[in-house]
């Protein structure tokens, strides 16, 4: 896992989904709907999360803010180096994370930005 500054971690946290009636400074959801807890950054706990490189480092992605997003750690592991389509393994039901496989594709707007940024064909 890359080393990120507190400022970068905060900027990535701000991209997570705010959930009504929950303190957004502590609790949010990732793109697959899995709960993440701000203080569990870098931890492999139920609500732990990591900074995901949308366009993977192994393919030339870097720490440009456009390329970073928060992801529950198990979802980040299951995504691996897949791009633009990938699978996640966690989502939520009420206030708990549950096992559920889902498939996603990076949205067209972000793919367009990443193509320009990384000269993806």
Tell me: the pLDDT tens digits for 76-112? 999 999 999 999 999 999 999 999 999 999 999 999 9
- Structural domain that includes position 10: 6-118
Residue 21 domain flag: yes
Q: How many Å separate Cα 70 from the centre of its chain?
A: 3
Say if residues 64 and 117 touch (Cβ distance below 8 Å): yes
Does residue 11 have a cis peptide bond before it, meaning omega lies within 30 degrees of 0?
Answer: no
The predicted model gives 29-58 an average pLDDT of 98
Nearest residue to 27 via CA among 103, 94, 110 = 94
Evaluate whether residue 52 is within a structural domain: yes
Tell whether 91 is covered by a domain. yes
Counted domains in the chain: 1
Inside any domain, residue 59: yes
Query: To which H or E segment does residue 68 belong?
Result: strand 68-72
Q: What does the pLDDT look like over 4-43, one tens digit per residue?
A: 999 999 999 999 999 999 999 999 999 999 999 999 999 9
Decide if 56 is inside a domain.
Answer: yes
Residue 1 resides in a domain: no
């Amino acid at each position: 896992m890359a080393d990120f500054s507190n400022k970068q971690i905060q900027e990535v946290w701000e991209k997570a989904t705010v959930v009504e009636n929950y303190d957004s400074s502590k609790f949010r959801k990732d793109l697959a709907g899995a709960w993440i807890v701000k203080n569990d950054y870098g931890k492999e706990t139920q609500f732990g999360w990591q900074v995901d490189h949308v366009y993977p480092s192994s393919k030339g992605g870097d720490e440009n803010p456009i390329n970073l997003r928060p992801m529950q750690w198990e979802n980040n592991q299951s995504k691996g180096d897949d791009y633009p389509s990938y699978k996640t393994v966690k989502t939520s039901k009420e206030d708990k994370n549950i096992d559920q496989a889902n498939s996603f594709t990076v949205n067209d707007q972000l793919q367009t930005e990443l193509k320009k940024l990384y000269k993806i064909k």
